[in-house]
Structure 1
């Protein structure tokens, strides 16, 4: 139980459904969808569309989507809604593309075909009860009438003005009298509203085959992109088999590559080799062990994870006991690992994660993203669609399995998760924050399953992360931990912004739902 003399919030409870998102308007809309007879999938897509309006720097219809759907019988369905590089992105092009240093955040080559609208359409068609038009309706209304910028959104938006100023469409649609909205200031996205209305009327085909696709292809080609209309027409989600590992008596379930969920499972397998319960949850030892485990997991991720349609990722081997034993043997309790540089990857922290559980016990763990803040920074002047920059996750070394190539998917950071115990869905959760996400998944799982925290406490707890050769330690972590990590050889800094954000819903054996939402964002969890 939390200390009521300290700042924080209690968990939300419900028995007939629950939603947790990073925007109050999106959470409320999800709950209203459930109350009107919709299911978890209906509510999730409705909320995601609203988040494209309330958090346009984090997500949008120009981005990608992944989801896990858990049924009452314990079965879990995985959906990969990530887009692909243009078919023309071949080796001959790469030789002369001048990308030896990698793909930059605002390069047109960072724009893969957005997969979100295709994913939303098929989630509703296969697992929902409402149409895409019905799911988009609340978002269209908010985009037309306007919404107040919430505090975290305004704070983030202010820091992206220079990026938006550099693009004609972004200046037109995402700056207002040349400025970002202040907290509490109402902004409107009329072009996005009209584009969503076209999709509502004409369906996914409008985005991938119709006038919207034609506009986006023309726009990208004008910037030097390789994109063709056929790349959009060929876009299609994949249903995939989730992967998992057992930690502390529960299965942590993730999506397979090209996502980085495998990283979470590798780190948890390593941590199982240590008696974490013997250390304080906020102590130096637990923090050090988790940092070392995730660093090693990142090395393996960077070496192996790629589009499995073009490269065989040795998932079973990477999740084997022998791999976990070998990796755990590298960790010392008295000294940090030397910085190798092998742990690095393109950093971006702009994503929305949400989760919904309905009265039937169906849970959806859902994530949608444009990768960096406002993605590539490129917004179609006509449609108001801001295009993501997922292609930044590609390598440009032709010998690397994750090298950009024709119709390939890049290593992807956004990862939804679920917890299954004794054959039933016990939880649905996710942690946003680009490369931080695997660390966030590990920390929340360990907080709950090893240290007995509830979902809100597990999300609230101070965070830490190894990036760019140093350990970022949030302000909530004690100076004692900072000194202890320094004594072990870690270089410790206090970051200027919080690490990620998260939501989660736990499904109790007594039928009670327990929800949490990250105070690092503006959202909340609501139960009914």
Structure 2
């Protein structure tokens, strides 16, 4: 139980249903859908559509989506891959010949075909209890009526404005400036696109006038996208990956997402007695950072489109984790994780809903970088993600950019299961941080006995590309200790990630919702 004399947030308890999101309006709409007879899938689609308007710098219909679904009345979990493929004409060789060493992130070359709308339609068709037009009606209303800009959204919005092209500035600024907190943002163009999707489903986005509009915008920006690329877009149903961590089972979405990185990281950290450490001390932060270096190095070597990835068993193997854990010095930072791990490898916006029937959805939906590629269609303001920046241009790499491939993705939904029963759908936003965030949250609960809200609120640290980001929630003494071990320690400008979770009490069945105070959102139930 938290100290009620200190700032904090209590968990939300309810019996009929809970939605936890990064924006209160999306959570409220989800609850309205549940009360009107919709199920957790309906509520998730409705909330996600709202988030594309409430947080357009983070997500939208020009993005991708991954989800884990536990249907009502069963404990088996199904994964949906709603990430799009590269246009058939994309060539890593052509980009290399033009002098590129990476896929330019703010370019049409970084735009893979958006897969989120196809995923909405597939989810609704397979699991929905309400028609798609009814589920999308709240988003259509708010796109026209407007949504007041929330404080964290305003903060992020201002940082992303420099990346917008002329069409995107027309649709995503107010007189050329980022909106302030409390100002209304309207997107009437998106309302029209959502109406087409509500009427026609998949074809309302991937064929006809909408597809024509997107292809014209992308080709004008230098892309090789075609109508055939859009028409061929379909999501994929898969089985989740599962890994044990000290009595619980962590379920992750399979590649091309990097959920396997979280499983590898959990396996590495399970080699150490974390329970003997201060949860917010330097020893735990250091071990986590070193394990992250090694797990993410493995990700960069191997994670790719599942049709091109061959080393999944290697990443899942306990022997791989044990070998990597043996490279960690508890008192000294690894200067070059790739070199240290070479012998081991020899041969690389979140929301959750649970309904009265205990259908559970863990869904993550994103345009990647702030405002994605920064390219929008002039007519209706469809903003494109830049997930193609997740490809590499290294010749022969399993994640090398190529037409028809899905890039390595950073967005990953998750669930916890114990003794065969789903215990908690959850997710942690924040780009590359997500596998680290998943394992940090699970460890907070399993190793240190925290409830979900406390586990989310706890301070975070993240080793990222040579820099160790340590939030202000850690003491200066901890930062000094980490620096003495060889880390380049900084306090991040932006909070590390955001998280949502809903715990299903295994004894009472009561739902416990938690939402990250680093964002504007909340958990709501009824």
From 217, 220, 232, the equivalent of 1:219 is 217
Secondary structure of the residue aligned to 1:246 is strand
* 2:245 alignment partner in structure 1: 247
Deviation at 1:94, TM superposition (A): 4.2
Unmatched 5+ stretches in structure 2: 341-348
Matched, 1:163 2:160: no
Please name the residue that 2:39 is paired with: 39
Cα distance per residue 1:405-432 (max 9 Å; x no partner): 0100000000000001011100010000
Distance 1:152 1:92 in 2: 40
Q: Residue 341 of structure 1: CA displacement?
A: 6.6
Partner of 1:378: 375
Name the structure 2 match of 1:427: 424
**Within 2, Cα distance between the matches of 1:496 and 1:458?**
22
Contact kept? 1:73, 1:423, Cα under 8 Å: no
The 8 Å contact of residues 23 and 51 in structure 2, kept in 1 or not, is answered as yes
> Which of these residues, 321, 326, 329, is aligned with residue 324 of structure 1?
321
Secondary structure at the aligned position of 1:66 is classed as strand
Q: Distance in 1 between matches of 2:185 and 2:45?
A: 22
Shift in CA distance, 227/248, structure 1 to aligned 2, threshold 3 Å: same
Deviates more, 1:256-265 or 1:89-98: 89-98
Native 8 Å contact 2:241 2:252 kept in 1: yes
Between 465-474 and 108-117, report the one with greater CA deviation: 465-474
CA distance in 1, matches of 2:190, 2:99: 34
Name the structure 2 match of 1:522: 520
Do the aligned residues in 2 keep the contact of 1:394 with 1:411 (CA within 8 Å)? Answer: yes
Q: TM-score, structure 2 length as denominator?
A: 0.96
Alpha-carbon displacement from aligned partner over 1:361-390 (angstroms, at most 9, x marks no partner): 110000000000110000101121000000
Write the deviation string for residues 421-470 of structure 1: whole angstroms up to 9, x where unpaired. 01110001000000011111111110011111111111111110011311
How much does 1:175 deviate? 0.9
Name the CA distance, whole Å, in 2 between partners of 1:294 and 1:234. 37
Offset of residue 132 of structure 1: 2.1
CA distance in 1, matches of 2:32, 2:148: 20
Partner of residue 81, structure 2: 80
Aligned length: 516
Do the aligned partners of 1:9 and 1:456 also contact (CA within 8 Å) in 2?
Answer: yes
Q: Are the counterparts in 1 of residues 294 and 337 from structure 2 also a CA contact under 8 Å?
A: no
Correspondence for 1:16: 16
Structure 1 residues 326-348: Cα deviation after superposition (integer angstroms, max 9, x where no partner):
011001112111144789xxxxx
User: Shift of residue 293 of structure 1?
Assistant: 1.0
**C-alpha displacement at 1:526, in angstroms?**
1.1
Q: TM-score, normalised by structure 1?
A: 0.96
| 1:133-171 CA distance string (max 9 Å, x none) | 22211011111011110000111111222222xx12112
Q: Give the CA RMSD over aligned residues.
A: 1.3
1:459 to 444, 456, 462: 456
Query: In structure 1, the residue corresponding to 2:66 is in which secondary structure?
Result: strand
| Native 8 Å contact 1:260 1:438 kept in 2 | yes
Match of 1:37, SS state, is: coil
Report the Cα distance in structure 2 between the residues aligned to 1:260 and 1:373, rounded to whole angstroms.
20
The alignment status of 1:367 with 2:368, answered yes or no, reads no
Residue 15 of structure 1: CA displacement?
Answer: 1.0
**Equivalent residue of 1:441, what SS?**
helix
For 1:521 and 1:119, how far apart are their aligned partners in 2?
A: 25
For residue 280 of structure 2, what is the aligned residue in structure 1? 282
Once residues 489 and 151 of structure 1 are traced to their aligned partners in structure 2, the CA distance between those partners, rounded to angstroms, is 36
Note the C-alpha offset of 1:95: 5.1
* Contact 1:302/1:342 (8 A) holds in 2: no
SS at match of 1:109: helix
Match of 1:506 among 500, 503, 515: 503
For 1:202 and 1:77, locate their aligned partners in 2 and report how far apart those are by CA, in whole Å: 26
Which residue is equivalent to 2:444?
Answer: 447
The 3 A distance-change label for structure 1 pair 369 and 342 is farther
How many Å separate the matches in 2 of 1:188 and 1:443? 37
Task: Report what 2:97 is aligned to.
Answer: 96
Once residues 414 and 102 of structure 2 are traced to their aligned partners in structure 1, the CA distance between those partners, rounded to angstroms, is: 30
Partners of 1:161 and 1:354 in 2: how far apart?
25
More deviation, 58-67/289-298: 289-298
* Structure 1 residue 92 displacement after superposition: 5.5
